[in-house]
A and B are shown apart, each in its own frame.
Chain A
Amino acid sequence: MPEPGALRLERAFRAAGRPLFVPYVMGGYPDLDASRRHARILARHADIIELGVPFSDPLADGPTIQAAGQQALDGGTRPWDVLRIAGDLRDGPPVVVMTYFNTVIAHGAEQFLNEAAGNGVAGIIVPDLPVDEAAEVREVAQGVGVALVALAAPTTDDARMAEIGLSAEGFVYLVAVTGVTGGQMALDDRLRALVERARRHIKVPLVVGFGVRTPEQARQIGDIADGVVIASEIIRRIGDAPDADAADAAVEAFGNAIAGALRT
């Protein structure tokens, strides 16, 4: 068996020696080929790639990711198509797949996770699978060497932080704001306190996301956390581009800018 995903993820943090850049690509948006290209472009700048498998009713996502996911589904994107994008990135940074619980269980969690593992996926993030519902899926995931990456939120109390910390593997995705993706985060005392509180209970690296938009914000988050997820902003830039070449160029420029900000 190849090296378990949790170890690959943890090694990525140790190897970098700086905060990690974790960009998000929605598989199938604006179409499957374009998303594969964008993932390859970002792989040159990223430390971990977060790859979205579209779901019809994404409760944790704001309008930008909702619309991108719907476009992907309207274009006929299936989960297996997206997992194959991960397979194409085997030589690049580790891939974590982000999707919703019903996608994971629709054909049985075993099948989804086997396919993921077969495509070299290091971890999965399931935002509607809180820690107290996750035991069964975690066991299946561990069986095939895929880390189940947990989320923690500003409203997570100390007892739950500890519970999350106990089973955490790879890293923990810390939600910066009380809200859905694509909003506006601010690096304030509240967020600093949240990161400090999470660190007291969680020993794996902490990656912060939800509402990060600019290189400057990424750099600030990098000062307090181990990594930064940027999702909606990348999708927005792809959507704003007049054609496919411009979208590729926008992804390249933005990936380069964020990676640069995290290296300084």
Chain B
Amino acid sequence: MSVAKRFGPYGGRYVPETVIGALDELTEAYDRYRDDPGFRDELGALLGNYVGRPTPLYRAGRLEEAWGLDRGLWLKREDLCHTGAHKINNALGQVLLARRMGKQRIIAETGAGQHGVATATASALVGLGCRVYMGRTDMRRQRLNVIRMRMLGAEVTPVDSGSGTLKDATSEAIRDWVTNVDTTHYIIGSAVGPAPYPEIVAAFQSVIGNEARAQMLAETGGLPGTVVACVGGGSNAIGIFRAFLDDAAVALVGVEAGGEGPSGRHGASLALGRPGVLHGSYSYLLQDPDGQVAEAHSVSAGLDYPGVGPEHSHLRDTGRVSYVNATDEAALSAFLECSRREGIIPALESAHALAHVRDGAAGLAGPGPVLVCLSGRGDKDVDQAGAALGIDASA
């Protein structure tokens, strides 16, 4: 078996020559260990006893009622993973690979901080040093996750270039990797970057969809009519979509950051970008006519990224997945509704998927139930969402 380098025309390895050898090494290690019983057992045991998998499939009855969803609304509860989001599925898989490759040091980029926390956690677990690059803007708006990473023993390095968000943190992590490639493994947190990363991240995240598909069959006796997930780089989305790609009757919907709305700033690479190269792969990208990468905007740091994973670009072009977007405002109100009707505070990222279900319910294709990937929990967002919604702790 080989490891996918491209998805249709998208993907590739557009990186400095210095790290090509490391990409080859990672490709070989992944190809060797992905079906290795020892590796699978070790990862499987951690996903069970450490992460808490399988995560529950939960029927959100009060949101169904409020939103008139007679067909049923099911949440795949990745928010209940250890560390609070799906990111840990990939971080653990990659850290186990890094140890088998003999690497002594782990680096990562993070936007919302969930991937940074997951990587800091996985590094602590196996005893590897960890440095996380994070944009200065994101450090401010996801302050709690910065503290968590530092408590876990990771060094968090602020990045001031550009807009101080995920794009800039990713560039800086790649520069670190170019410099320390002999000793260091770079754990990319989304299904982006040069091959083989998009394939590896998607494969480690596909546990989400594999579980959810079986759970839907067990709970409802059938498949969902529609599967909805938020898309920044797109790791939770590809993780849940992959299990349903061959189920032609299941509609798949990715929800990008609509930001300030049609006339303002946003993070909707697939809807409003055009193909280009950022961070090592060819994919849809927000850019100006000369190819300068544009600054994205989203209330959620995890969706505030001008690129997107190459597999999503291919799924967009083939039409297998529909990509839509939800504004900051819609996501914030869905965030509050989910909190108050279900007692679940979702991550602002995941709230974009919920907002689309609410606002687009009439247009959801297929008669079957709706399955949403609730990719993370919103504890990290309480400062920012509280400020936006006028909720604080004063007496």
Contact = CB atoms under 8 A, between A and B. Distances in A.
Contacts of A157: 21
A191 interface: no
Interface in A91-111: 100-107
Interface in A124-171: 127-133, 151-157, 160
A180 interface: yes
A186 interface: no
A185 to B, nearest CB: 13
Which 4 pairs of residues, A with B, have the shortest CB-CB distance?
A106-B291, A179-B179, A102-B291, A153-B18
Interface string B285-296: 101011111000
Contact count band on A: 35 or more
A60 interface: yes
Contact of A128 (B162, B277, B285, B293): B277
Given A55-B291, A107-B289, A128-B280, A180 B14 contact: no
Interface stretch (B122-130, B170-178, B349-357): B170-178
A156 B291 contact: no
Contact of A130 (B20, B180, B291): B20
Contacts of A78: 290
A70 interface: yes
Nearest to B19: A155
B13 A175 contact: no
Contacts of B179: 178-180, 183
A214 interface: no
A130 B20 CA distance: 8
Given A103-B291, A175-B18, A62 B175 contact: yes
A156 B21 contact: yes
Contacts of B162: 56-57
A102 B276 contact: yes
Contacts of A179: 18, 178-179
B37 interface: no
Contacts of B22: 155
A69 B96 CA distance: 38
Nearest to B167: A57
B12 A133 contact: yes
Interface of A is mostly: loop
Given A56-B292, A73-B292, A105-B276, 17 more contacts: A55-B292, A56-B162, A57-B293, A59-B15, A59-B175, A59-B280, A102-B278, A102-B291, A103-B291, A130-B14, A130-B16, A130-B17, A151-B17, A152-B17, A153-B16, A178-B180, A179-B178
Contacts of A156: 17, 20-21
Interface of B: 12-22, 161-162, 167, 171, 174-175, 178-182, 276-280, 285, 287, 289-293
A129 B14 contact: yes
23 contacts: A55-B292, A57-B162, A57-B279, A59-B15, A59-B175, A66-B161, A78-B290, A101-B277, A102-B277, A103-B292, A105-B277, A127-B16, A128-B15, A130-B17, A130-B20, A133-B12, A153-B16, A153-B17, A155-B20, A155-B182, A160-B17, A175-B17, A178-B181
Contacts of A59: 15-16, 171, 174-175, 178, 279-280
A151 B18 CA distance: 9
B13 to A, nearest CB: 6
Nearest to B171: A57
A133 B14 contact: yes
A55 B167 CA distance: 14
A101 B14 contact: yes
B18 A79 contact: no
A178 B178 contact: yes
Nearest to B175: A180
Contacts of B19: 155
Contact of B14 (A56, A73, A128, A183): A128
Contacts of B18: 60, 153-155, 175, 178-179
A129 B178 CA distance: 15
A128 B16 contact: yes
A104 B282 CA distance: 13
Contacts of B178: 59-60, 178-180
A57 B278 CA distance: 8
B114 to A, nearest CB: 23
B129 to A, nearest CB: 18
A92 B278 CA distance: 34
Contact of A151 (B16, B167, B175, B285): B16
Contact of A105 (B175, B291, B293): B291
- Tell which of B16, B167, B285, B289 has the most Cβ of chain A within 10 Å: B16
Interface in A102-124: 102-107
A188 B293 CA distance: 38
Nearest to A103: B291
Contact of B13 (A103, A132, A151, A183): A132
Nearest to B174: A59
